[in-house]
Amino acid sequence: MQPMSASESSRRLFLKQAGAAGALALTAVNGEAVAKAAAIEQQAPADDPAQAASRAKRMAWWHQARFGMFIHWGLYSVIGQHEWAMEVEGIPIKQYELLAKQFHPKPNAARDWARLAKAAGQKYMVMTTKHHEGFCHWDTKLTDYCAPKQGPGRDLVREFVDAARAEGLRVGFYYSLMDWHHPDGARCKTDPEARKRFVEYTHGLIRELMTNYGKIDVLWYDVDWPLTAAEWESERMNKMVFELQPEIIVNNRNGLEGDFSTPEQEVRAEKSGRAWESCMTLNDSWGFNRGDDAWKTPKEVIANLVNCARGGGNYLLNIGPKPDGSIPEESVTVLTEVGKWLQTNGKSIYETERGEFSWNVNANYTRSGNTLYIHQQYWPGHTPAAEGTEFFQPEAVIAIGGLKAKAKAARLLKTGEAVKFTQDEWGLRLTGLPVKAPDQPVTVIAVECDGEPAIDHEAPRAHWPRYKAGVSG
């Protein structure tokens, strides 16, 4: 991990604090859940009563979507050393601007992104329309530092929007408020005239994005340095956005609460249950970084996705296309594998609600109504313990202590094959499972229960039958 700059760390701190407030949001999988989510989301601290009132309805698709594709693509991709290169490497603006002439993506590269997203089981896409570098990917009237007037010679936002829609995916725009290129981008903090100009420029760019591309599903603000929400006139900004796009959802990075929180590079469920989306890189970089080989495995990606689903959150996973728009091979491999797994195990992800489960190194859990999904990431296999201990017979056994509902049936999600089990007040024992894991990289077992399943392996601790100090024989 790279050390964070003061502004970055204070921004993260701010995001943490902002994320601490909120009310309970639930996955909307059926009418009842929608109603429940509506009732609870109304209680969220609202920036604007109208936005709060429509929140549950606007966000219903998003709660069900679970998994989205983030795309970081810009002039920094031409350098291939992470999207912060301009600032981190101290590249002078005049030098950096030359990249705009060298940026020649192949036509409709976004179609491959969208096809991959679909195959990966992702339901929405969020692309950087303007990152901190200040280069705009769309046909803007407000600057000539934009794709149609530079190397690409065409509107890349249009291509992205068309590509996502062609695959039936929802469309999200990432927009960085911080701008390293605009002459007023820093002095706006101290010069009132510059602030006025820069805020108008910013609102104007957002207005174009919200006006010229049809229905946009998500607006994903980023880094509000150096201004406060009041200085950005963020309330007016959101008001304009909602006037132009009444069904949109917005995140919390323009200094306001917005509709959802944005934990970054970590899965952190909002304690209060406020809607949240964990955004994450596939290696260590958002923008294309030639030398970054720290790729996550499909198993790690699935583990993160399961963790998000368990906590009622979404997972926004990034790709950093190369300057020509092609996707690094490693990303394609990982996402394809995750998509294959989702084809058989998607039920345990998309249609789930937030659940209460103890930690378990070997397994994670999700739930949908009264169904418990056990995501066994480390399969037990053969254990010598089975030879002398009935508890581990017949092999293989997966045991879950502290299940707080009665199991009625269990099956392997991949094959539908029934799984035998026994249950007592201390826990559930699934028995006679194959010694070799039936699915890769994670096997899911669905357990139908007589009520909402929760797991608390600590609860039996105080009541567990104990016999004597010594072996009870």
Which residues would be at the binding site for ligand GLC (CB under 6 A)?
72, 83-84, 222-223, 264, 279, 286
Beta strands in 103-248 (DSSP E): 124-130, 170-176, 218-222
Decide: 322 and 328 in contact? Cβ < 8 Å: yes
Which is nearer to ligand GLC, 84 or 341 (by Cβ)? 84
Smallest gap from residue 126 Cβ to ligand GLC (A): 10
Which is nearer to ligand GLC, 286 or 350 (by Cβ)? 286
Residue 74 CA: distances (Å) to CA of 133, 147, 154, 410: 8, 10, 14, 48
Smallest gap from residue 458 Cβ to ligand GLC (A): 35
Neighbours of 48 (CB within 10 A): 14
Task: Please tell me the number of Cα atoms within 13 Å of 455 on its side-chain side.
Answer: 25
Smallest gap from residue 269 Cβ to ligand GLC (A): 18
Smallest gap from residue 265 Cβ to ligand GLC (A): 8
Classify each residue of 281-302 as buried b or exposed e, where b means 16 or more C-beta atoms within 10 Å of its C-beta.
bbbebbbbbeebeebbebbbbb
Decide: 175 and 212 in contact? Cβ < 8 Å: no
What sections of 82-184 are H helices per DSSP? 85-88, 93-97, 99-102, 109-119, 156-166
Smallest gap from residue 251 Cβ to ligand GLC (A): 9
Decide: 281 and 318 in contact? Cβ < 8 Å: yes
Smallest gap from residue 211 Cβ to ligand GLC (A): 24
Secondary structure letter of residue 155 according to DSSP: -
Which is nearer to ligand GLC, 83 or 351 (by Cβ)? 83
Smallest gap from residue 233 Cβ to ligand GLC (A): 21
Q: Which residue has the tokens 């089975």?
A: 386
Which is nearer to ligand GLC, 279 or 407 (by Cβ)? 279
Which is nearer to ligand GLC, 216 or 279 (by Cβ)? 279
Which is nearer to ligand GLC, 222 or 351 (by Cβ)? 222
The 3-state secondary structure of 377-427, one letter per residue: CCCCCCCCHHHHCHHHCCCCCEEEECECCCEEEEEECCCCCECEEEEECCE
Which is nearer to ligand GLC, 222 or 337 (by Cβ)? 222
